Structure 1
Amino acid sequence: MQSDRLEIAHGFLTGPQSDRRELDRIGGDAPTALLKQVHSADCIVVGIDFDFESRPEADAMVTKVPQIRLAIVTADCAPVLLQDADAGVIGAAHAGWRGAHGGVLENTVAAMEALGARPARIAAVIGPCIAQANYEVDDAFRAKFERGEHRFFEAGREGHWQFDLEGYAAWRLSLAGVEDIDRLSLDTYANESEFYSYRRATHRREPTEGRQFSAICLTE
């Protein structure tokens, strides 16, 4: 899959145990850095000494080392891939509502800055995620957000709201100084022939082990 600004790898994973095997099959020779994603705001730096057999507990990572693939696994949350081409720095973040609300995207941009990137040069892509029309939440969910963030909610049935995760993630990126943001606007819930959706599977009482990945890698 390709946006106007960044090339990204995207595909399906059949279950949590197949992540690295599937990614290595699709991605070629570059080793894959994966995380134990916990809906946090934590971001790590992946260097040449990174243990690729481990999965640090975090939800974002950055690197300036060529030929290391950063891969984020999602099932409705927003995968966000970032690049400062001039500085040779990339990042990948798992932005569910909790991570985005907690600052995972701002932390990713800050970690890229520490490696020499500048927010004004960063190009970001927000990959496939659940769209507002299919992301129903209740009053208690909306109450977790500040009044100024309520514009990302549209009224739904009584006591419920439709949350714009993609729009919210783009806004949080803009708060970090990123202006070049490509929103792919691909709905994981509605497009069942292309994407896995945890929420769709839950509603249908289907297996919920499926995942998809989005990855980014620096070339030499």
Structure 2
Amino acid sequence: MKFYYSQKLSHFPNLLHAFTTKESGNLAFHVGDDPVVVEKNHELLGNNLGYEKEKLVYMKQIHSDLVYVVADEDFNTPPTCDALITDKTGTPLMVMVADCSPILFYDKIYKVIAVAHAGRAGAFKNIVKNVIDSFGNFQSNPKDIVAVVGANIGVCCYEVGKEIFQEAKELGLEYAVEKKGSRFYLDINKIVKNQLLACGLDEKNIEFSDECSCCNPHKLYSYRAEQKTGRFAGIIMLG
């Protein structure tokens, strides 16, 4: 299996993290694939990365701004939300995407991890702020949090309608829309970066993948490029 990793998170020996590719197979149960095959993909992924599948916590993602604090959940009890946070060791957290932004977070002082699913809805609702606010419950200082945004659909491919442009304007996010003739293109990464900085993160602790999922459907799942497709994932675990 091929994975890609964050340069910033790779500095921490107590962390397991990775972003998957199509080589890991589809990891989502809700896209029409045989659930036995999907579960096998999860088992193989855990074996490759070095965690127990049963301890993995993923989400029933609903394009919300809900953050869930993980306590006793496991593979069979996925919460309905779009972000997870925990200070438990040996508990891998997973976010699944196919064009949306998979975000991994780590507080290097208090040893807290989180994942978030930030598509257009999540970015417009500022799920990033809710995640950083949730770190406050663990005494975290935003200056100590590292945030890594994996591959997602880039402004090169994310054409949106005029109604989305109007919504962005109403939310003060017009800066993230590029107009090319009569067409509008949305830059989710620009929104997420501004939100992370507004929450107090240091720019040196923020990292973005330079890959567009829609430009690379041979490597990554992309809903915009393929319509019916699987999900790749970001994973993080405290050792």
CA shift, 1:86, in A, is 1.2
Q: Secondary structure at the match of 1:134?
A: coil
CA shift, 1:57, in A, is 1.0
Separation in 1, partners of 2:40, 2:199: 34
- Deviation digits for residues 30-63 of structure 1 (CA, Å, limit 9, x no counterpart): 421011000000000012x224312211000100
Q: Is residue 216 of structure 1 aligned with residue 236 of structure 2?
A: yes
CA shift, 1:19, in A, is 4.9
Separation in 2, partners of 1:19, 1:82: 26
Identity %: 27
Separation in 2, partners of 1:50, 1:169: 28
- Give 2:76's aligned amino acid: E
Q: Is residue 185 of structure 1 aligned with residue 201 of structure 2?
A: no
- Deviation digits for residues 126-180 of structure 1 (CA, Å, limit 9, x no counterpart): 001000010001110011124642111111241x211111111111111221222
- Deviation digits for residues 105-126 of structure 1 (CA, Å, limit 9, x no counterpart): 1111111221222111001000
Structure 1's consecutive aligned runs of 4 or more residues displaced over 6 angstroms after TM superposition are: none
Aligned to 1:205: none
- Give 1:29's aligned amino acid: Y
| Superposition RMSD in Å | 1.6
Select the residue among 45, 55, 71 that pairs with 1:26: 45
Separation in 2, partners of 1:83, 1:114: 14
Q: Is residue 73 of structure 1 aligned with residue 121 of structure 2?
A: no
Unaligned 5+ runs, structure 1: 203-207
CA contact (8 A) 1:87 1:117 kept: yes
- Give 1:9's aligned amino acid: A
Q: Secondary structure at the match of 1:81?
A: strand
Separation in 2, partners of 1:174, 1:2: 22
Separation in 1, partners of 2:39, 2:198: 33
Aligned to 1:61: 84
Select the residue among 178, 183, 198 that pairs with 2:223: 198
How many aligned positions are there?
212
